[in-house]
Amino acid sequence: MPTILPVRLQQHPEKLVLLDQTKLPVEEVFLYLDTRESIFEAIKKLRVRGAPAIGIAAAYGMYVCLSQNTYPSLDAMEQDMKALKEYFASSRPTAVNLFWALDRMEKTFHENLGKQGITQTQLLAALLQESNQIFLEDQAMGKSIGMHGLSLFDKKKQWGVMTHCNAGGLATSGYGTALAPLYLGHEQGYQFKVFSNETRPLLQGSRLTAYELAKGGIDVTILCDTMVSLVMKERKIDAVIVGADRIAANGDTANKIGTSGVAILARYYNIPFYVAAPSSTFDVATATGNDIIIEIRDGDEVVNGFGKRTGPKNVSVYNPAFDVTDATLITGIITEKGIIESPNAEKIKNHLSI
């Protein structure tokens, strides 16, 4: 299991503690945050990233910010809670776990607000309990995803596995999603050779995935995104496993930019392509991937990233953070409940009702 928690709560005094992932792999810097502005900035600037970790950070962030104040009334506390929810929700529009976690916190607040004689201290205690529950549920879901994903492999050979972006421990509170089968398998003697796509423009595959896998003792090789077709043609890849930021009701999946291209190449080379994500990443209110809002980020990330300008100043830059992989390209979606093979709307609906 990964040894570094990217997101946690410190108490007395209350602070959201984040591993600043913009500093990796060169430095391990932890941030201790207790203001709404600093927490918003950390989510927006990808100091914490990965859909599950973003949700956990937002939940703890709401609790921390509300705990800083003594409100003149419960109504005032409720209004601030709503303002916090709206503010944090505006930080990243694509990752559904962000909204899911904030909705849970709001629901908990309102369920307890109606209790006779409830106090601000008791409301805060309820929010603390709910945010801790979100954290612990994510840890359990990661291990379950890993167990189901591991059933796709055996110990008879070394498996070449490709992944894109980072969906490991750094994106969650535990084993991760896409990397969970690899961590569990490594603990049990399975042999994996992982190919981690660099993932332009922010290099999450090389900076984060390769960093955490190497730290965990798992064989990992970094690839430029443009090398994917070649290594697939060379038969070095047996399976692709990626994470997800949002999965539509029909199985269309939003993940880091470049994922859909990997899926298309995997289909061409007849390589199974799996998505690993908890049930909370499904957005059943979104019918298809066409309805998913894609975050567009600052073009400076492409032409002036990591302190070195790599493009002229007088050109436009298009920098979508995500793309959508059509469900027809996905061999299966691995969740904490099992594997949805050849996903479609009916199969997903039945799976989520388990």
- Identify the architecture of domain 7-143 in CATH: Up-down Bundle (1.20)
pLDDT band of residue 11 (cuts 50, 70, 90) is very high
Can you read off the two tokens belonging to residue 50? 């990965």
Q: What is the Cα–Cα distance from 36 to 84, expressed in whole angstroms?
A: 7
Examine the pLDDT at 3 and tell me if it is beyond 80. Answer: no
| Conformation bin of residue 176: beta by default, left when phi > 0, alpha when psi is -120 to 50 | left
The 10 Å Cβ neighbour count of residue 327 is 24
Cβ neighbours for 271, distance < 8 A, ≥ 6 positions apart: 232, 237, 238, 239, 240
Polymer length of the chain: 354
Contact assessment for residue 188 and residue 151, using Cβ atoms and an 8 Å cutoff: no
CA dist 29 to 24, 150, 183, 273, 279, Å? 8, 32, 24, 34, 31
At residue 2, the pLDDT reads 79
Residue whose structure tokens are 């997800």: 244
Q: Parse the chain into domains and list their residue ranges.
A: 7-143, 145-352
Catalytic residue among 245, 252, 283, 323: 245
Describe the crossing of helices 120-150 and 180-187 by its angle, rounded to 10 degrees.
70
At residue 300, the pLDDT reads 95
At residue 211, the pLDDT reads 96
Give catalytic status of residue 245 as yes or no: yes
pLDDT tens, residue by residue, 273-314: 999 999 999 999 999 999 999 999 999 999 998 888 999 999
Beta strands in 198-250 (DSSP E): 219-223, 239-242, 246-248
At residue 208, the pLDDT reads 98
pLDDT tens, residue by residue, 94-105: 989 999 999 999
At residue 107, the pLDDT reads 98
* Neighbour-count burial of 305, counting CB atoms closer than 10 A to its CB (0-12 exposed, 13-18 middle, 19+ buried): middle
Annotated binding site: 49-51, 92, 204, 255-256
Mean pLDDT of 244-266: 99
Examine the pLDDT at 10 and tell me if it is beyond 80. Answer: yes
Long-range contacts formed by 346-349: CB under 8 A, 24+ apart: 347/251, 348/247, 348/249, 348/250, 348/251, 348/282, 348/284, 349/249, 349/284
pLDDT tens, residue by residue, 140-173: 999 999 999 999 999 999 999 999 999 999 999 9
Contact assessment for residue 248 and residue 154, using Cβ atoms and an 8 Å cutoff: no
Check whether domain 145-352 has CATH 3.40.50.10470, yes or no: yes
Q: What is the Cα–Cα distance from 241 to 262, expressed in whole angstroms?
A: 10
Annotated binding site for substrate: 49-51, 92, 204, 255-256
Q: Amino acid letter at 77?
A: M
At residue 334, the pLDDT reads 99
pLDDT tens, residue by residue, 52-77: 999 999 999 999 999 999 999 999 99
Cβ neighbours for 127, distance < 8 A, ≥ 6 positions apart: 62, 63, 66, 105, 108, 109
Taking alpha carbons only, the member of 321, 329, 271 closest to residue 301 is: 321
Q: What pTM, to 2 d.p., does this model score?
A: 0.93
pLDDT band of residue 38 (cuts 50, 70, 90) is very high
At residue 307, the pLDDT reads 83
pLDDT tens, residue by residue, 192-234: 999 999 999 999 999 999 999 999 999 999 999 999 999 999 9
Q: What is the Cα–Cα distance from 172 to 95, expressed in whole angstroms?
A: 13
* Neighbour-count burial of 151, counting CB atoms closer than 10 A to its CB (0-12 exposed, 13-18 middle, 19+ buried): exposed
The mean pLDDT value of the chain amounts to 97
